[in-house]
């Protein structure tokens, strides 16, 4: 894409009401736009990153047998009454609204109940199980405060998967597969080395759940990482009893972290309440055993910015970068512009995603700052000097100095799946 045609522009300063690093960099780079506290919109560069995150998650969910659906945001009172979750005292983040005839509706906080209800049309016998059903869909949560940019939003995209099995044993086998898939996802997104499988409270459903916590000084959670196993325990359940229970000894270090994913055993709470039963091989009727598995793609994006940026801007991992290479052309010199155009065309023909800073009235210094702020993994400069040195100056966002290589070498370096 030619940067001259991109409608967004970078800015030098973030709005003064943004206190979080992720919102500051993402707004300065034109990745997102703020609607109100806790509500952001994705602009073209941000949407490209978001879609790459979604693609990685989708691939891994499909790989463990997930089937994708898309449920509605509007939900009925009757859907959440059986589990007592309609009451604002029980679930305190509802946004509610009304039909013309005064019927109360809720905006999806989560989707366990509607998906369980829908499955009653399709599950009759043990032969219809197991199932794993997932979606990427907006959740609405009426948070009292929202100051963490896209890390804690009132409206946000979530990948939520729900698993349905005949019993706890079958459930746990899937749960382990999901755990492995999650580890893979965070690794692929470039935050694997900072992300810890963390034992947390199981809530109302089971003894423990698992969170995936990424270490960052701005995290809202505190975790204790076991130095021997790299398994962490959330502060909320960090007791001697739990440590002994898990057999983890006493070698822990404390860290601030943000929850980028969680997996839960739901058991039969929803299937009992909503009557999702199946016939066993013996003809008995039994409640389906459920689990729930969430990741917020927007929060992952925010976490990457919080953890992988430097003071000049963002450093996107290649897997989720909006483009693979940022091509910069300097000077009004005809020869330079012609050569840069040629490089741009070659990159595109070779299916290498390139943002081409072809803007004419922008100084070299500004182009360099913009490239650092936008954080595309590779920067390729075509200038009078680079041409004199025999080609294109290539530099990784993480490197201090670049080197001059030929167009052929550039295409080889950036070839998809290199």
Q: Site residues (CB under 8 A) for its own copies?
A: 5-9, 11, 30, 33, 35-36, 39-44, 47, 50, 65, 67-76, 95-100, 105, 107, 114, 118-119, 121-123, 128, 131, 133, 138, 140, 142, 144, 154-155
Q: At what angle do helices 168-188 and 44-63 cross, to 10 degrees?
A: 140
Structure tokens at 177: 């597969």
108/305 with CB nearer its own copies: 108
Asked if 383 contacts 331 with a C-beta cutoff of 8 angstroms, the reply is: yes
- Give the C-alpha distances (Å, rounded to integers) separating 335 from 119, 124, 212, 308, 339: 64, 71, 51, 37, 6
Contact partners, residue 303, CB within 8 Å, separation at least 6: 22, 151, 191, 214, 216, 258, 260
22/234 with CB nearer its own copies: 22
Phi, psi of 48 (to 5 degrees): -65, -45
Closest distance to its own copies from the beta carbon of 103 (Å): 9
How far apart, in whole angstroms, are the C-alpha atoms of residue 179 and residue 174? 9
Closest distance to its own copies from the beta carbon of 158 (Å): 14
359/395 with CB nearer its own copies: 359
How far apart, in whole angstroms, are the C-alpha atoms of residue 160 and residue 291? 10
162/175 with CB nearer its own copies: 162
Closest distance to its own copies from the beta carbon of 282 (Å): 19
Closest distance to its own copies from the beta carbon of 94 (Å): 9
76/409 with CB nearer its own copies: 76
Closest distance to its own copies from the beta carbon of 275 (Å): 17
Element holding 74 (H helix, E strand): strand 74-76
Closest distance to its own copies from the beta carbon of 233 (Å): 32
How far apart, in whole angstroms, are the C-alpha atoms of residue 294 and residue 92? 19
149/391 with CB nearer its own copies: 149
84/103 with CB nearer its own copies: 103
- Give the C-alpha distances (Å, rounded to integers) separating 75 from 4, 71, 108, 112, 161: 43, 10, 6, 12, 18
Closest distance to its own copies from the beta carbon of 253 (Å): 36
How far apart, in whole angstroms, are the C-alpha atoms of residue 256 and residue 388? 49
């Amino acid at each position: 894409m030619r940067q001259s045609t991109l409608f967004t522009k970078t800015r030098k300063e973030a709005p003064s009401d943004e206190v979080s690093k992720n919102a500051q960099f993402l707004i300065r780079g034109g990745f997102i736009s703020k609607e109100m506290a806790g509500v952001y919109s994705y602009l073209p560069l941000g949407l490209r990153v978001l879609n790459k995150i979604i693609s990685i998650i989708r691939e891994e969910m499909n790989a463990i047998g997930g089937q994708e659906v898309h449920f509605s945001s509007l939900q009925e009172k009757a859907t959440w009454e059986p589990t007592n979750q309609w009451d604002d005292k029980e679930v305190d983040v509802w946004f509610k609204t009304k039909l013309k005839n005064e019927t109360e509706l809720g905006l999806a906080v989560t989707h366990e109940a509607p998906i369980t209800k829908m499955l009653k049309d399709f599950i009759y016998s043990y032969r219809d199980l197991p199932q794993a059903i997932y979606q990427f869909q907006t959740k609405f949560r009426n948070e009292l405060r929202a100051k963490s940019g896209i890390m804690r939003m009132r409206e946000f995209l979530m990948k939520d998967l729900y698993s349905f099995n005949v019993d706890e044993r079958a459930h746990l086998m899937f749960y382990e597969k999901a755990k492995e898939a999650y580890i893979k996802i965070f690794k692929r997104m470039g935050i694997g080395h900072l992300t810890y499988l963390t034992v947390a409270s199981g809530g109302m459903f089971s003894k423990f759940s698992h969170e995936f916590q990424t270490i960052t000084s701005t995290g809202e959670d505190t975790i204790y990482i076991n130095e021997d196993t790299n398994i962490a325990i959330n502060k909320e359940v960090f007791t001697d009893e739990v440590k002994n229970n898990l057999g983890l000894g006493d070698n822990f270090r404390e860290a601030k972290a943000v929850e980028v994913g969680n997996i839960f055993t739901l058991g039969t709470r929803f299937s009992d309440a909503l009557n999702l039963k199946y016939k066993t091989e013996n003809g008995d009727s039994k409640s389906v055993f459920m689990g729930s598995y969430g990741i917020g793609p927007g929060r992952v994006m925010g976490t990457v910015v919080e953890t992988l940026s430097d003071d000049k801007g963002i450093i996107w991992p290649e897997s989720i970068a909006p483009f693979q290479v940022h091509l910069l052309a300097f000077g009004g010199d005809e020869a330079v512009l012609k050569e840069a155009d040629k490089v741009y065309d070659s990159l595109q023909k070779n299916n290498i995603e390139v943002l081409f800073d072809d803007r004419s009235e922008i100084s070299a210094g500004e182009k360099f700052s913009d490239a650092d702020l936008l954080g595309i993994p590779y920067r390729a400069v075509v200038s009078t000097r680079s041409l004199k040195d025999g080609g294109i100056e290539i530099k990784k966002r993480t490197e201090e100095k670049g080197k001059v290589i030929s167009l052929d070498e550039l295409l080889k370096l950036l070839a998809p799946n290199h």
